[in-house]
A and B are shown apart, each in its own frame.
Chain A
Amino acid sequence: MIEGLNPALILVCGSLFALLVPQGLVRNGFLLILPALSLIQLLGLPDGQYAQVALFNLTLTTLRLDGLSFAFALVFHIAALLAVIYAWNLRDPVQQVVGLLYPGAALGVVLAGDLVTLFVCWELAAISSVFLIWARRTGRAYRAGLRYLVIQVGSGVLLLAGIIVHIQATGSVTFDHLGLGSPGATLMLVAFGIKAAFPLLHNWLQDAYPEATVTGTVVLSAFTTKMAIYALARGFAGTELLITIGTVMAMFPIFYAVIENDLRRVLAYSMNNQLGFMVVGIGIGTPLALDGAVAHAFADILFKALLFMSMGAVLLRAGTVNGSELGGLYKSMPLTTVFCIVGAASISAFPLFSAFVTKSLILEAAAREGHWIPFLFLLFASAGVFHHAGIKIPYFAFFAHDSGIRCREAPMPMLVAMGIAAALCIGIGVFPDVLYAILPYSIDFDPYTTTHIITQLQLLAWSALAFSVLVRTGIYPPELRSVNLDFDWTYRRLLPVASNRIWALALRVWEAFNAGAERRVEMLIAALSRHHGPRGLLAATWPSGSMALWAVLLLGVCLVFYYL
């Protein structure tokens, strides 16, 4: 442990050195040691503020450790370590470097004590992460990455504007509770909202994540959205508006998840839905709700990583993650199937699995505060998430009708990473107090009451019954190769088409104007040529005799007038 050294620096700087280390076992070892060192540094630091730097007349606190930042920093390390193990066989330097640079930047965000450091890390995370999408090296991924980058950097620009306005107004650069009410804070809320995938600002998530590489999606799923959740919890706890936003977020993506064919995109929608629960928790703002949001973010990083890892393994082995082409893979990939089911049970909040002990904090907090409408919607969303992530993902990938695909089981490093993630998901579910102990408000809550266990099992079992009945009666919509229009339609289709139309219209007006002007010029030329052209009266060449005659006549007239 080095006094005051920011663990994020170990990851950010270390990842750049990785390129100098020879590819193979040595580099893999190096990549594994970096987050381990950073974790040791984090665990050794007592709560407090460190590494204060003077910048012009501002004092930056580049490292702040307290209950809230510790929980996020800890789970970020676990996620980074899991991703390194998962990508053990990967030999792509881009993904190896960015696989730690980007988590390092995200770590910098949750450890930043001031807004300037927050902004720098926020942008570094945005710019570095896009390489995990581009590393797929297809035209489709390239374009999706560009769209992703524009939106991510857009969030950064809004954040910067908000920070400048905020510093101008308050003179303070500290990142603490902001609350709504000032223009600077509102701008920052929108910036955070983009990365937290608020409704209508959400679509970069479902657009870009499924286009990233096998490992890339696993890494991406852990950090960007969760650092936004952290920022919201820090800056906007108890902002009532967030209850409504979060409820909508928890609801609408589940409808898309039901009809989506790309199973990694289904997971992206379900992630959006889980973020909704966290945003509701932050909006409620009581200690129980905030601890719930943090705990659920912690659990979500792990089970979502596990689910994305299992789908990544399917993509690697079967060459596709389209539900319409998969099925029966449990025969070829039994271990991956088991791990996927553990992830599915965790996200669905089965007793003994992680979300059961984390999501219930948020629901309980909503109930205690009397928010019955959000409560009913979150319950709907809980049933829905079991339906599309808990059942649909494992069912269409590993069971359903046998697609005839026969492939090998996932490679050993992937199985190890999935195994550890699965063990953590179950561990949190079985020993919730271990997680509760690191939460910022150290709540006292027992998730394993008879009421909670039975009501949750009723909700889940009857949701499963609904799925089975709908599938057996043929009402359940089949998986179809298709694209579902979401908000990205506005900037991928509406705006281009509208701008093309406007451009074409402007072009037509310009051409009409040009044609009119040209006609006028031509008429002018014609008139000139009529009068002054070769046959024009005024431009005809006259014989010198007639000239002399006219001169004599003129002189004659002058003479006559002279004598008069």
Chain B
Amino acid sequence: MTAPPAPTDRPERKYWLDDPRNVDKIFYGLVLICAGLFLADFFYHKHINFAFEDWFGFFAWYGFVCCVALVLLAKQMRKLVMRDEDYYGD
């Protein structure tokens, strides 16, 4: 199934993402994009169905809060539902 391992006699290619500083760059890039999108609410007229959609940056912070809540709840859920890998004896 698995392919033969890569030859070890030559040094492996260094990838751009291997450098943690570049990962930081991506992160700060994302922060900038988020800030820009949040402020975008100043510049256009929202077509909405519900009043809450008109709250400033609603979709931005709702997405953020939901994801944090999702992860924190799921983490707590692990205590309840996580078992050893061979729990069912397969």
Contact = CB atoms under 8 A, between A and B. Distances in A.
B37 A454 contact: yes
A457 B40 CA distance: 11
A454 B40 contact: yes
Interface in A453-488: 454-468, 470, 472, 475-477, 480-486
5 contacts: A454-B37, A462-B59, A465-B30, A468-B30, A486-B81
Interface residues of A, number: 64
A461 B78 contact: no
B60 A380 contact: no
B60 A458 contact: yes
Interface stretch (A167-175, A300-308, A311-319): A311-319
Given A451-B47, A462-B61, A480-B82, A387 B70 contact: yes
Contacts of B44: 450-451, 454
Interface string A436-463: 0000000000000111001111111111
A375 interface: yes
A406 interface: yes
B2 A367 contact: no
A485 B67 contact: no
Nearest to A489: B81
Interface of B: 1-3, 5-6, 13, 15, 17-18, 27, 30-31, 33-34, 37-38, 40-41, 44-50, 52-53, 57-64, 66-68, 70-75, 77-78, 80-88, 90
Given A139-B90, A399-B17, A484 B83 contact: yes
Nearest to A324: B85
Contacts of B90: 139-140, 143
Contacts of B46: 451, 455
Nearest to A404: B5
A484 B80 CA distance: 9
Interface of A: 139-140, 143, 254-256, 258-259, 316-319, 330-332, 364, 367-368, 370, 372, 375, 379-380, 383-384, 387, 399, 402, 405-408, 449-451, 454-468, 470, 472, 475-477, 480-486, 492-493
A96 B73 CA distance: 43
B73 A462 contact: no
A140 B41 CA distance: 52
A449 B47 contact: yes
A456 B58 CA distance: 11
A250 to B, nearest CB: 12
Nearest to A472: B27
Nearest to B85: A481
A501 B9 CA distance: 61
A100 to B, nearest CB: 25
B84 to A, nearest CB: 7
Given A465-B64, A466-B67, A482-B83, A455 B3 contact: no
Contacts of B40: 454, 458
B59 A463 contact: no
Contacts of B27: 468, 472
